[in-house]
Amino acid sequence: MSDGRRRKSRNRSQDAPHQDRWILSYADFITLLFAFFVALYSISLKEAGNEKVLSETLNGVFDAVQKSIKPINIGQPVATQPESERLLEVAPAEQSEAENPPGEVEGKSPLYDALNKSINSQFPVLQSSGQVSITEDANWITLDMKSSLVFDQGDFELTNEAVALMIVVSSILRSYPAPILVLGNTDDLPTNSTRIPSNWHLSSLRAASVVDELTYRGMDPKLLAPIGFSSENPQVRNSNDFARAQNRRVTLKISKRQADNLYDYLFN
């Protein structure tokens, strides 16, 4: 009789659901409780006036909580970042990369050398301060100008500095006629202007202002076209004011292929 009861008790214990699941919930509870007490400690730091320590502490706490409740990935991990993430990542260049920036080619073209020499002689601090950059690849010479140099905030009229720069640039480009795309780019903040309803308008107007100035300085209008990209072609993430300043720019894409006019170059 006692053996039968023993067997029945053993069978019940085997059929019962697993009793250790509470450990997972308990672990999450302990993690959240830890976060709660650290948050209380952070509030005491705020009352003491230490805002920086408060911010770092709270960021660490909430990062830790998120890591504790995120599901574990199953399957083969991805070794590299998606292409879109890589393009928008901001990181300081290594010394070897700085000597040979990505996209540049050895054996600079005469136009690249002429632009680089003229801009450095007439405006010696523009490239060193990052307001202007010139790069070259197999197909294009790219002249990037930060909007803070070319335009006042929220405006599309060229500044005096920009006009002076366009005079120098156009004098070089007239000697090397080639198709040129003028690209306007903004950040992701709204324009907040009744005169300029959107960043599409602003980027297009800024590109058109540069084209107007270049044609006024004697360049062939058949070789020029303004294009506005709004905030849809950022160089870096629009995560802070510094990053947004990098994205507000006007770019001259100068083809290294000759053509009689830009329309035939693009569409024929």
DSSP the chain: -HHHHHHHHHHHHHHSPPS-THHHHHHHHHHHHHHHHHHHHHHHHHHTT-HHHHHHHHHHHHHHHHHHHSPPP-SPPP-S--HHHHHH---PPPHHHHHS-TT--SS--HHHHHHHHHHHHHSTTTTTTTSEEEEE-SSEEEEEEEHHHHB-TT--SBPHHHHHHHHHHHHHHTTS---EEEEEE--SS----SSS-SHHHHHHHHHHHHHHHHHHTT--GGGEEEEE-TTSS-SS---SHHHHHHH-EEEEEEESS--S-HHHHHH-
Could you tell me if residue 82 is inside a domain? no
- Residue 115's pLDDT band (cuts 50, 70, 90): very high
Could you tell me if residue 97 is inside a domain? no
Considering the domain architecture, whether residues 151 and 66 belong to the same structural domain is answered as: no
- Residue 44's pLDDT band (cuts 50, 70, 90): low
pLDDT value at 42 more than 60: yes
For the chain, percent of residues with pLDDT exceeding 70: 65
Could you tell me if residue 215 is inside a domain? yes
Considering the domain architecture, whether residues 68 and 172 belong to the same structural domain is answered as: no
Considering the domain architecture, whether residues 153 and 202 belong to the same structural domain is answered as: yes
Considering the domain architecture, whether residues 55 and 140 belong to the same structural domain is answered as: no
In whole angstroms, what is the distance from residue 10 CA to residue 64 CA? 42
Could you tell me if residue 146 is inside a domain? yes
| Residue 229 · residue 220 · CB < 8 Å | no
Could you tell me if residue 248 is inside a domain? yes
Distance of CA 61 to the CA centre of its chain: 28
Considering the domain architecture, whether residues 155 and 59 belong to the same structural domain is answered as: no
pLDDT tens-place string over residues 199-227 = 999 999 999 999 999 999 999 999 999 99
Query: What is the domain-level CATH number for residue 135?
Result: 3.30.1330.60
The domain in which residue 43 lies consists of 23-72
Could you tell me if residue 6 is inside a domain? no
pLDDT tens-place string over residues 121-170 = 999 999 999 999 999 999 999 999 999 999 998 899 999 999 999 999 99
Could you tell me if residue 4 is inside a domain? no
C-alpha pair distances (Å), 93 with each of 83, 90, 96, 106:
18, 9, 8, 19
Considering the domain architecture, whether residues 61 and 170 belong to the same structural domain is answered as: no
Total structural domains within the chain: 2
- Residue 35's pLDDT band (cuts 50, 70, 90): confident
Considering the domain architecture, whether residues 128 and 258 belong to the same structural domain is answered as: yes
What is the reported pLDDT for 261? 94
What is the reported pLDDT for 89? 46
Pick the last residue of a domain from 72, 94, 113.
72
pTM: 0.62
Considering the domain architecture, whether residues 184 and 246 belong to the same structural domain is answered as: yes
Could you tell me if residue 90 is inside a domain? no
What is the reported pLDDT for 125? 95
In whole angstroms, what is the distance from residue 122 CA to residue 12 CA? 91
What is the reported pLDDT for 242? 93
Please give the torsion angle defined by the CA atoms of residues 42, 46, 48 and 49, in that order, rounded to the nearest 10 degrees. 140
Considering the domain architecture, whether residues 142 and 63 belong to the same structural domain is answered as: no
Considering the domain architecture, whether residues 58 and 148 belong to the same structural domain is answered as: no
Considering the domain architecture, whether residues 68 and 162 belong to the same structural domain is answered as: no
